[in-house]
Amino acid sequence: MPAMPREFTVLGIETSCDETAAAILRGAPPGPGTILANVVHRQIAAHAPYGGVVPEIAARAHVELLDGVIARALSEAAIAPSDLDGVAATAGPGLIGGVMVGLLSGKALALGLGKPLIAVNHLEAHALTARLVEGTTFPFLLLLISGGHCQLMAAEAVGRYRLYGATIDDAAGEAFDKVAKLLGLPYPGGPEIEVRAKTGNPKRFPFPRPMRGREGMDFSFSGLKTAVRLSVAELTSNGGSLNDTLRADVAASFQAAVVDVLKDRVRVAMQRFRTEFGIKNNVLNFIVAGGVASNQAICGALKQVSGEEGFALTVAPPALCTDNGAMIAWAGIERLALGWSDPLDTAPKARWPLELLDKNT
């Protein structure tokens, strides 16, 4: 019998946006892994008055909270720091102030413990969550949808990703939040749109479906957001106001437009992926990751497309769709198992495209 792969125990630190998070994971690729602790402190209350994330507030909160979050994760996992095999921390992309806080803490712990530092690409951590949860094998088609990103990629291996398409303006999650703000809904707006859309009429407003039917696999949501803004302005002209029915109808019509765009772009990507990888694989895997992946209407539509195109769909549990330390720790395990680690002078990155990751490995 082949020898069992060595398991690693890794601390993961995530501070790229407004979640201060740390987790302890144990496992070996291709997974699944065991989450020993996963502590996330969400800063929603701090940013709610501004209707969105304020970078300076987020960075200051990370400074104040991170030590305690890490200590709690170690305590819940019943792990001594000396028992860790490595320390993984988000090195980008993200809000640079927050990234600096988490990466610096990771460096200090790695240096003090004499353990390897793994500087994790935040987007790769999202991508690899399917392996953490299901042990999904490479290659797989990836749709990454979050507040800052909307990309379709072929994931060929750890550190190697082939870009199919990306948003040319707003990300899907950003569009959800901006539309929610137009409707006067509380922050964070994405979940609020989903809730109201359930009771709305998705055909009430004929919003555009940008890029649908066009060649390629890129996305665009700015024009859709503008169409919503113009409709809301018309509804509230001459002293009018939005009632709950109108909000629900706008939300449902907007969400339906996003769903139609995603279905169209994903179908094209599936056809390309099948051409490039289908001959070598009996199972075509489709992974949806990122915060917007917790939207049930979107997941339901993508499940339908997956069935029609012969793909097996995997979506992480909601707690692992949004930013968290568990995904960072797992990405650390994946890289540590390959013998990869990073020097202590690794610089934080505000931008770090996933398709360029192998050139920096």
What percent of the chain has a predicted confidence (pLDDT) above 70? 97
Sorting pLDDT into bands at 50, 70 and 90, what band is 146? confident
Average confidence score pLDDT of the chain: 93
Written as one letter, the residue type at 347 is A
Kindly tell me if the per-residue pLDDT of 76 is higher than 80: yes
Sign of the Cα pseudo-torsion (24, 29, 34, 40, in order):
positive
In this structure, what DSSP letter does residue 213 have? T
CATH superfamily of 136-319: ATPase, nucleotide binding domain (3.30.420.40)
Sorting pLDDT into bands at 50, 70 and 90, what band is 188? confident
Sorting pLDDT into bands at 50, 70 and 90, what band is 237? confident
Q: What pLDDT score was predicted for residue 49? A: 85
Q: What pLDDT score was predicted for residue 98? A: 97
Beta strand extents in 158-269 (DSSP E only): 160-166
| Environment class of 238 (CB within 10 Å of its CB; exposed 0-12, middle 13-18, buried 19+) | exposed
The residues, any chain, with a CB within 8 Å of residue 14's CB and separated by 6 or more, are 20, 21, 22, 89, 90, 102, 122, 125, 323, 324, 325, 327, 328
Q: What pLDDT score was predicted for residue 280? A: 62
Q: What pLDDT score was predicted for residue 218? A: 95
CATH superfamily of 8-133+323-359: ATPase, nucleotide binding domain (3.30.420.40)
In this structure, what DSSP letter does residue 13 have? E
Written as one letter, the residue type at 10 is V
SS (H, E, C) 19-53: EEEEEEEEECCCCCCEEEEEEEEECHHHHHHHCCC
What value does the mean pLDDT take over residues 253-258?
Answer: 97
Q: Which residues of 49-74 are buried (b: 16+ CB within 10 A; e: fewer)?
A: eebebbeebbbbbbbebbeebbeebb
Kindly tell me if the per-residue pLDDT of 182 is higher than 90: yes
Sorting pLDDT into bands at 50, 70 and 90, what band is 281? low
One DSSP character per residue, 294-359 reads G-HHHHHHHHHHHHHHTEEEEE--HHHHSS-HHHHHHHHHHHHHTT--B-TTPPP-S---GGGGGG
**Quick check: 76 and 39 in contact, CB under 8 A?**
yes
Q: Domains of the chain: which residue ranges? A: 8-133+323-359, 136-319
